[in-house]
Amino acid sequence: MALRKSSGSRKRGKPLRPRKKAPQAIVHDAPHAPELVIVTGMSGSGKASVLKAFEDLGYYCVDNLPVELIPRFAEMALRSSEIRRTALVVDVREGSKLEQLPGILKAVRRMIPTKVAFLEASDAVLLRRFSETRRPHPLGTDSPVNASLKTERRHLANIRALADIVIDTSKFNVHELRAHITERFREQASGKNILVSCVSFGYRHGVPEEADLVFDVRFLPNPHFVPEFRPLTGRHPRVAKYIRSFPQTQEFILRISDLLVYLLPHYIREGKSYLTISFGCTGGQHRSVMIAEEVGKRLHKAGYRVKVVHRDMPK
């Protein structure tokens, strides 16, 4: 069978014209620039949930990648036209090889823009999470979980020092943690990557342990002494109107909101991922509830993610 001549062969005597080249993609016009995020940190701190959040954002994700393969993984991300943004988890499951990570990280950062996100939580929270899931600590079952956590913190100390982002997940539930990662790593984020919790409480029940800022609103007139308001809460329109009717209430809300709008960018610049602002009155039913609601609305209007919690308000 005779071979067919290529249909692209030119006729004799006709000059060969150079074929126009297809325009090449420009890096800054690509949907995503190359990026590698290494997620590490304490066992039980939420790394699996964070990896799922990255996957939802379109990152190519790998859990528990051997540290020796990280340079090859980064090279693949650089060469691939389809895989640009990548995320992987590295933690104490690597054993003694984890000690190589700082050196590998130094080399990889010369190849591709790389961020290290370190997740941690308080020992009390981690112990509770291990108890709830009934899963053993990766360092083994020969020693109690609290002893394994101390050993793990020691092993991860050098890596934590190299982290670009440190996230304490103690105050996050799974959904809040994933929402935080989504906001922080979504393209063209607003820069207001902090979760603000406005918490009302009653001093008779104690000050919230997790509070970063505490404001005492017991100087405001107490609706408790108005019989018709006593069974209601600060969320009721009539109670809120009563508290708002005093000039000191209006001035306090305005001044505190302005102060917080000023402070929050500075907290963000220092790497803080959440802030708990607590407002306390005597019983945590009227004044603190109304103030937490009002301040929360103003911060939400300013563009921040806000969660309002009424710790001691009657259900």
Q: Is 228 exposed, middle or buried (0-12, 13-18, 19+ CB in 10 A)?
A: exposed
Specify the pLDDT at position 20: 39
Contacts of 129 (CB under 8 A, 6+ apart): 44, 121
SS3 at position 216: strand
Contacts of 121 (CB under 8 A, 6+ apart): 42, 44, 45, 46, 129, 168, 169, 170
pTM (2 decimals)? 0.54
Per-residue pLDDT reduced to its tens digit, 55-66: 888 889 999 889
User: How many CA atoms lie within 13 Å of 195's alpha carbon, on the beta-carbon side?
Assistant: 24
**55/18 Cα distance (integer angstroms):** 44
Q: Whole-angstrom distance between the N-terminal and C-terminal Cα of the chain?
A: 88
Q: What is the pLDDT along the chain (315 residues), one digit of tens a residue?
A: 333 333 333 344 444 343 433 333 323 333 456 789 999 999 999 999 999 989 888 889 999 889 999 999 888 888 877 777 899 999 888 888 888 999 999 999 888 899 999 999 999 999 998 888 778 888 876 778 888 899 889 889 989 998 999 999 998 888 888 888 887 887 544 566 688 999 999 999 999 998 999 999 999 999 999 999 999 999 999 999 999 999 999 999 999 999 999 999 888 877 677 899 999 999 999 999 999 999 999 999 998 989 999 999 987
